[in-house]
Amino acid sequence: MGNQVERLTHLSYAEVPTAEPAGSDREEPGPRIGVSYIFSVDEDELEEPVAHEAGTGETGDGGYDARNEVECSVYYRDQCIYEKRGSFGKVEGGAGELTTQPPETLLHKCKPGDLVEFVAKNQCPHWVVYVGDFQVVHLHKAEIKNDFLTDASQGRRGRLVNHLYKFKARPPESVAQCALQQVGLQGVQHIWRSSECFAAWCRCGRREFKAGGELRIGKQPYRLKIHLSDRASHTLEFQSLEDLITERRRNDQLGKVALTQELTAHLQAEEQHRAELDPH
CB distance 121 to 168 below 8 Å? no
pLDDT band at 96, cuts 50/70/90? low
What does the pLDDT look like over 186-241, one tens digit per residue? 998 899 999 999 999 999 999 999 999 998 888 899 999 999 988 889 999 999 99
Cβ-based neighbours of 28, under 8 Å, separated by 6 or more: 10, 11, 12, 15
Highest mean pLDDT out of 26-40, 81-95, 248-262 = 248-262
**Residue 215, pLDDT score:** 86
Locate all alpha helices (DSSP H) within 81-146, ordered by sequence: 103-106
For range 26-42, the mean pLDDT: 36
Locate all alpha helices (DSSP H) within the chain, ordered by sequence: 2-6, 103-106, 149-153, 172-181, 195-204, 241-254, 256-277
pLDDT band at 55, cuts 50/70/90? very low
Domains and CATH numbers, the chain: 1-33+263-280 (no CATH), 41-69+86-215 (3.90.1720.10)
**Residue 64, pLDDT score:** 82
pTM tops 0.85: no
pLDDT band at 277, cuts 50/70/90? confident
Q: Rounded mean pLDDT of the chain? A: 80
What does the pLDDT look like over 130-189, one tens digit per residue? 999 999 999 999 999 999 999 999 999 999 999 999 999 999 999 999 999 999 999 988
pLDDT band at 44, cuts 50/70/90? low
**Residue 278, pLDDT score:** 76
Comparing CA positions, the residue from 136, 110, 134, 138 lying closest to residue 125 is: 138
**Residue 246, pLDDT score:** 97
